[in-house]
Structure 1
Amino acid sequence: MIELFMKQKMFSFKDAFHIYDRDEQETFKVEGRFFSLGDSLQMTDSSGKTLVSIEQKLMSLLPRYEISIGGKTVCEVTKKVTFSKPKFVISGLNWEIDGDLWRDEFQLTDGENVRMSVSKKWLSWGDSYHLQIAYEEDVLICTAIAIVLDMVLYNDEDESIF
């Protein structure tokens, strides 16, 4: 089980997250680009090498994000139309989100196995999450999905009920 802590950087002109391990060592940094049309973020390692790209697809009625690792698209995360609790589709992986997104307690599953559990840390400065990822090979994609969900659920510019 890999434990990571994701903290959104406060007072930034662009989306920014820092990802730490349980020893409080920064393992990844995620930053958005200035002056981009839609959200466009890069996840880098401690040396600055880009590992993951997250791009918002603007030609969509609802929020839709493409996640690429090593230049190859791995999945798309799309918000579904609902009138109660938020729902998302993760195409390309056949994974599902279970739990309560409004209370920030949810899991990513592949139908049989829990791939990641996410819980929001309350009483912290800025959005802060505890990620428990079951498999080492899922660290990048699971972290990227958690970032997309945070951006869609808590983007101040999105006043939509969907």
Structure 2
Amino acid sequence: MKELYIKQKVFSIGEKFTVTDENQNDVYYVEGSFFQIPKTFSIMNENRGEVALITKKVFSFLPKFFVEVQGKEILTITKELSFFKARYTIDAEGIEVQGNWWDMDFEVYKQGQLVGQVNKEWFTWGDTYKVQIFDEAMETIVIAVVVAIDCVKSDEAAASSAAT
């Protein structure tokens, strides 16, 4: 089992943050596009080579996010039409997310096998998520899923604050 931590800075202008291991060594770098259409988040390895890309669909009635890992689309997160509470669906071939992903407390399964678990760390400056990887071959995919879900939450919060 491998433990990784995603810690976002509270006041990050360019939406940049890192994924670290348990010794606080940088393992992945995440950079969001700044004033770019379509909105993207690039996940890079320690050599700054892109391993995953999250893209928000531009012209869509409801928000939709695409997640690519190593050039292959692995999942889509789509907002459903609802009147009271935001509802999203995750569509992925062989990948399933179970738990309360809105509160960042969930598990990631591939064909029924647990490959990762995510828990939000409380009482930290900024958002920190502990990611446990049970299948290291799925590490990049699990990190991409966590970042994508966080992008969806961020987008929803921005839309809510703009509406008020």
Partner SS, residue 158 of structure 1: helix
In 1: Cα distance, 2:39 partner to 2:146 partner: 15
Equivalenced residue count is: 160
Moved runs in structure 1, 4+ residues, more than 6 A? none
In 1: Cα distance, 2:63 partner to 2:109 partner: 21
In 1: Cα distance, 2:48 partner to 2:39 partner: 20
Quick one: structure 1 residues 16 and 23, their matched pair in 2 at CA, closer, same or farther if it must change by over 3 Å?
same
Matches within 5 A, 1:48-87: 48-82=48-82, 83-84=84-85, 86-87=87-88
* C-alpha RMSD of the superposition: 2.3
Q: Is the 8 A contact 1:80 1:89 kept in 2?
A: no
The residue number in structure 2 matching 1:157 is 158
The residue number in structure 1 matching 2:128 is 128
Amino acid at match of 1:51: V
Using structure 2 for the length normalisation, give the TM-score. 0.84
Matches within 5 A, 1:19-58: 19-58=19-58
Higher helix share: 2
Quick one: structure 1 residues 86 and 131, their matched pair in 2 at CA, closer, same or farther if it must change by over 3 Å?
farther
Gap regions ≥5 residues in structure 1: none
Using structure 1 for the length normalisation, give the TM-score. 0.85
In 2: Cα distance, 1:55 partner to 1:28 partner: 18
How big is the shift at 1:111? 5.3
Q: Is the 8 A contact 1:88 1:97 kept in 2?
A: no
